[in-house]
Amino acid sequence: MTEQRQANWAEEAVREHAEDVHDHELAQYPSGVEHPSREQQVLDRIEKARARKPKVKEERITLAHGAGGKATQSLVEAIFLDSFRNPLLEPLEDAAIVTANGTSLAFTTDSYVVSPLFFPGGDIGDLAVNGTVNDLAVSGAKPMHLSAGFILEEGFPVADLRRIVASMAAAAAAAGVTIVTGDTKVVQRGKADGCYINTAGVGVREPGCELGVATARPGDAVLVSGPVGEHGMTIMLARGELDIEAELESDTASMHELVAGLMKADVGVRAMRDATRGGVATILNEVAQAAGVAVVVNEDDVPVRAEVRGACELLGIDPLYVACEGRLVTIVDGAHTEEALAALRSHPLGAEAAVIGRIADDPPGLVLLNTGFGGTRIVDLLVGDPLPRIC
Amino acid sequence: MCLGIPGEVIEIMPEQPDLAKVDVSGVKRAINIGLLTDDPPGPGDWVLIHVGFALSKIDEEEARAAMEFLEGIGQAYEDELEALLSSKIDEKG
Amino acid sequence: MRFVDEYRDAEKARALSAKIAGLCEPGRQYKFMEVCGGHTHTIYKHGLEDYLPESVTLVHGPGCPVCVIPMGRVDDAIALAEQPDVIMTSFGDMMRVPGGRGSFFDSKAAGTDIRMVYSPLDALKVARQNPDKHVVFMAIGFETTAPSTAMTVLRAEAEGIENFSIFCNHVTIIPAIKAILDSPDLRLDGFIGPGHVSTVIGCRPYEFIASEHGKPLVTAGFEPLDILQSVYMLLVQLAEGRSEVENQYGRVVPWDGNQVALKAVGEVMELRPYFEWRGLGFISHSALRMREKFASFDAERHFDLPGVRVADPKACQCGEVLKGVLKPWECKVFGTACTPETPIGTCMVSSEGACAAYYNFGRFSRERVRQASRPEPVTIETGARRE
């Protein structure tokens, strides 16, 4: 027979969880004992394993660490949060809430590395402004000032840079923010993908504004402000590798007015999130985990454009995990569902807003989906980017 | 084990007759139809797409028959229920 | 979407579900295997088990081409990618699959050039665009996918492309089903046959299952109503004491398969004497390799490969899960050491592996999920109530 060896990583994983395996063996019931209780034991064991302190086991950073799913979560918690830990960072919301001279401010930062730099519906400049404005807006703040840092690759066409900067200026004007400080670095050819942008932003919050995904409670309603997944699918197709044509445009937009309208309507908003990387499913998992509630979503109520659905079916991807860049997910008091929907729909960006589900108490920490077919299933966090699959 | 998606043939590519432009819910891609030379599809035909190849032409007649069967099951179930009910009522009567 | 949405109709599912319940003999347990991972994915993605009575159990079979690739073959593929001036191309499915020393993603992070493609023809395009590199296509899949690889090789030959080769890992479904049927600890009542494989091989190759093993098989489509209807057709066969091969997926599957596709595969590839399947071990004549005539397109002949077997950890019970002896959650390492992030065994590897599907979509007591998701009492018009 051929030479044989062991997979060391796998043996280590088994050893590391040996205690759980041991528990499992203790729990072996004599035959004849009802299955559900045994199944429940296994499920508890999984929850225990999932609740363990996250660890980064990989020796090198892989693309999965940047995809917004479980790998990103482990990286942030095990490496960044572990070292920087402080009460302002710990909530890991879209923006930190800081106080200066008695004024409550939202403060956030984001880096933009999209490829291609120009795509149907926008470019990296639009994203760099809108993304940061949105992070401030969903934190309940009026966006005020942004910084802009550029990492440019040697040889990058100045005309392209002008185009990107013009988009940023237009997006900033539309969002009512000013870009007040910045930085430029140039790296050698091959060390960057043309142009990377980092923006940071500050905004002022209304006094007494209490928002956060941890405040969701049973009976609340879950809404999205429009069809999901357009940005992510547009980018995937714009890369050209898949040779798929579709009339799709990125949904990149600044949501500050949409959010302001919703807050003004006084509909008992508990939390708002900007559904970017990882899509709506990732946000809903954050809600379920932070608030210790169940999020129950109706598949048929989630708005998805026909072309996004077609591309998703073709590539074997679930639109719930595909990124948006101008879509709000919000949790509101269930008693005000209709008013919240009306408030969103009164703004052009929210014209196709929909109630997609509700918050329940059990099972805590999980997102459940009522499928269009009439069944039920779990919607979990993704391990990495949604990848095109053939099977 | 193998993702296969139905799509409608829009056109056969003029320069490359083994390629067809296929539409899936408004999304279009060139698909190789070289595996269907026994019964080549034309515009308006539906094919099953797998990894960029059309594996099979969808048989509309078969699809209709299967759908009728499914619709029939719903109806037959209702009818049976009715029959069962009336027979029980008869027994009691 | 046509040919998709009409097969996801909840109302028809309810009628079919009632029919299925009516066909089950009281006190009898039914175990059907869906051979194909695509079916497993559909079952979980749509929550299909909610429509099945407690007495019907679906056992998830070995038909996931990503899952069955042994870790040693992944290591070989990475060794190929590490050769100077090689571009490895692969379907997205393989990118996260770990071998003995990591996955394609890990290898890419360490500096190799591994690219995702949607079609083998796209891999050939990469070869055309990079004449100074050698492009290898990581070919995986059952008979559904093998014709596409074969057609691509024929195209490469016709165009005289010399910097392109195939790392052939194509497998065939019938020997795997035979291996399962020969397993002594297995008790199945019938099979849900792999629909897309059957577009190529047709329905005849399954006839031995009905005639020699006395088990009914229904070739099924991939929408949830297709699967529900095939469960119904299996139960009708059992109720009538028949064991036959039937085709639920007639809209796509011709009884005799696709002869053009079979011919292309036969021209380019031949059966290997044996091949290792993760979880099932070595199975004879269960995989394809390139024919001598196409040696110049065979990565295994082009390059020297380590060819080292990697053993699955002893704690892994994938073999039992694949044969339906254990439910995914009954495995010792399920959900703790073995998760979709660190899949130790084959069933956790791809989203259509039995354990991954169960972990991602069904990891919770069905009763609790049902209660949470449907708080409003559903009124069902039954005869009893009307009486």
**If we measure between CA atoms, which residue out of C116, C150, C173 comes closest to residue C265?**
C150
- Encode pLDDT of C306-358 as tens digits: 989 998 888 888 888 877 788 888 888 888 888 888 888 888 887 778 888 88
Does residue B91 lie within any of the structural domains? no
> Which residue from A242, A310, A390 is facing B24, i.e. has the nearest CB?
A310
Q: pLDDT for C45-79, tens place per residue? A: 999 999 999 999 998 888 888 888 999 999 999 99
pLDDT value of position B90? 58
List Cα–Cα distances, C207 to B31, C135, C142, in angstroms: 33, 40, 19
Domains and CATH numbers, chain A: 97-205 (3.30.1330.10), 213-378 (3.90.650.10)
Closest CA of chain B from C12, distance in Å: 6
Residues 66-125 of C with CB under 8 A from B: 91, 118-122
Mean pLDDT of C161-168: 98
* Shortest Cα distance, chain C CAs vs residue A20, angstroms: 7
Q: Which helix (H) or strand (E) holds C357?
A: helix C354-361
* Highest-pLDDT range among A15-19, A21-25, A161-165, A241-245: A161-165
Q: Which residues of C touch B55 (CB under 8 A)?
A: 144, 147, 196, 199-200, 258, 261
For all residues of chain B together, what is the average pLDDT? 88
In this predicted structure, what is the pLDDT of residue A32?
47
Is it the case that residue C83 has pLDDT exceeding 60?
A: yes
Name the residue among B2, B7, B27 with its Cβ closest to that of A390.
B2
- Residue A66's pLDDT band (boundaries 50, 70, 90)? confident
Average pLDDT, rounded, for chain A: 90
CA-to-CA distance for A281 and A297, rounded, in angstroms? Answer: 10
The 3-state secondary structure of chain A reads CCCEEECHHHHHHHHHCHHHHHHHHHCCCCCCCCHHHHHHHHHHHHHHHHHCCCCCCCCCCCHHHHCCCHHHHHHHHHHHHHHHCCCCCCCCCCCEEEEECCEEEEEEEEEECCCCCEECCEEHHHHHHHHHHHHHHCCCEEEEEEEEEEEEECCCCHHHHHHHHHHHHHHHHHHCCEEEEEEEEEECCCCCCCEEEEEEEEEEECCCCCCCHHHCCCCCEEEECCCCCHHHHHHHHHCCCCCEEECCCCCCCCCHHHHHHHHHCCCCEEEEEECCCCHHHHHHHHHHHHHCCEEEEEHHHCCCCHHHHHHHHHHCCCHHHCCCCCCEEEEECHHHHHHHHHHHHCCHHHCCCEEEEEEECCCCCCEEEECCCCCEEECCCCCCCCCCCCC
pLDDT higher than 80, residue B85 = no
Q: Does residue A157 carry a pLDDT above 90?
A: yes
Question: CB-CB: which of B5, B27, B51 is closest to A246?
Answer: B27
Q: Is the pLDDT of residue A33 over 70?
A: no
Strands B46-50 and A376-378: unpaired
| Residues from chain A contacting residue B7 (CB–CB below 8 Å) | 314
Contact list, A16 vs chain C (CB under 8 Å):
337
Query: In chain B, which residue's Cα lies nearest the Cα of A248?
Result: B27
The pLDDT of residue C377 is 36
**Could you tell me which chain C residue has the CA closest to the CA of B82?**
C383
Mean pLDDT of B8-31: 95
Instruction: Identify the closest residue of chain C to A58 by CA–CA distance.
Output: C106
Using a pLDDT cut of 90, give the percent of chain C over it: 69
Share of residues in chain A with pLDDT > 70 (%): 94
Q: Is the pLDDT of residue A174 over 60?
A: yes
Question: Is the model more confident about A47 or about A222?
Answer: A222
Residues 279-338 of A with CB under 8 A from C: 294, 296, 306, 309-310, 313, 315
pLDDT of residue A389: 85
The region of weakest confidence among A18-22, A336-340, A355-359, C30-34 is A18-22
Take residue C217 and report the two structure tokens written for it. 């098989």
Per residue in C249-268, pLDDT (tens digit) is: 999 999 999 999 999 999 99
Question: Which tokens belong to A109?
Answer: 């930062």
Residue in B with minimal Cα distance to C121: B52
Q: What is the pLDDT at residue C356?
A: 86
- The answer as to whether B52 is a domain residue is yes
Partner residue facing C309 (CB), from A4, A25, A36: A4
Check whether C363 has a pLDDT greater than 80.
Answer: no
Q: How many CB pairs under 8 A join A and C?
A: 232
Q: What is the mean pLDDT of residues C10-17?
A: 93
Separation of alpha carbons C243 and C94, rounded Å: 37
- What mean pLDDT comes out for the span B15-38? 95
**Residue C358 confidence (pLDDT):** 83
pLDDT-derived band at B93, boundaries 50, 70, 90:
very low
Q: Does the structure show a pLDDT above 90 at A50?
A: no
Reported confidence tier of residue A1, pLDDT bands at 50, 70, 90: very low
Nearest residue to C213 (alpha-carbon basis) of C173, C253, C243: C243
Q: Which domain holds residue B68?
A: 5-86
Rounded to whole angstroms, the Cα distance separating C204 from C188 reads 20
Structure confidence at residue C175 as a pLDDT band (50, 70, 90): very high
Residue among A242, A307, A389 minimizing CB distance to B26: A307
Is the pLDDT assigned to residue C198 strictly greater than 90? yes
Q: Is the pLDDT of residue C368 over 70?
A: no
Looking at chain C from residue 145 to 174, which residues have their Cβ under 8 Å from any Cβ of chain A?
145
Picking from C121, C144, C250, the nearest residue to B66 by CB comes out as: C250
Complete DSSP assignment for chain B: ----EEEEEEEE-SS-TTEEEEEETTEEEEEE-GGGTTS---TT-EEEEETTEEEEE--HHHHHHHHHHHHHHHHHHHHHHHHHHHHHHHHH-
* Amino acid letter, residue A304: V
| Closest residue to A370, CB basis, from C38, C365, C373 | C373
- The number of distinct structural domains making up chain B is 1
pLDDT in tens, C84-122: 999 999 999 899 888 998 899 999 999 999 999 999 999
Average pLDDT value for residue range B56-62: 95
Q: How many CB atoms lie within 10 A of CB A116?
A: 13
Model pLDDT, residue C218: 98
Q: Which chains touch A (3 or more CB pairs under 8 A)?
A: B, C
Q: How far is C78 from chain B (nearest CA, A)?
A: 22
Cβ(C93)–Cβ(A389) below 8 Å: yes
At C365 the pLDDT is 60
Cβ–Cβ gap B52/C122 under 8 Å = yes
Residue C372 has pLDDT above 70, yes or no: no
How far CA A367 is from CA of A69, A107, A222, A239, A341, in Å, comes to 15, 29, 12, 32, 21
B54 pLDDT higher than 80: yes
In the structure, what pLDDT confidence band is assigned to residue A21 with cuts at 50, 70 and 90? low
What is the mean pLDDT of the segment spanning C167-188? Answer: 90
To test the contact with chain A by mutation, choose from C103, C121, C130, C364 the residue with the greatest count of A C-beta atoms within 10 A, namely C364
User: What is the pLDDT at residue C274?
Assistant: 95
**Cα–Cα distance, A62 to C254 (Å, whole number):** 44
**Residue B93, domain member (yes or no):** no
Place A5 in a pLDDT band, splitting at 50, 70 and 90. Answer: confident
Asked if the model's pLDDT at residue A59 lies above 90, the reply is no
Q: pLDDT higher for B81 or A127?
A: A127
Q: Give A243's contacts in chain B (Cβ within 8 Å).
A: 29-30
Per-residue pLDDT of C123-163, as tens digits, reads 999 999 999 999 999 999 999 999 999 999 999 999 999 99
pLDDT value of position A2: 58
CATH code for position B41: 2.30.30.140
Q: Tell me, what's the pLDDT at C280?
A: 86
In a domain, B10, yes or no: yes
Q: What does the pLDDT read at residue B33?
A: 97
Residue numbers in C near A296 (CB within 8 A): 372-373
- Of all residues in chain C, the percent with pLDDT exceeding 70 is 93
The candidate with the shortest Cα–Cα distance to A77, out of A107, A45, A55, is A55
Do B28 and A307 make contact, defined as CB atoms within 8 angstroms? no
pLDDT above 80 for B36: yes
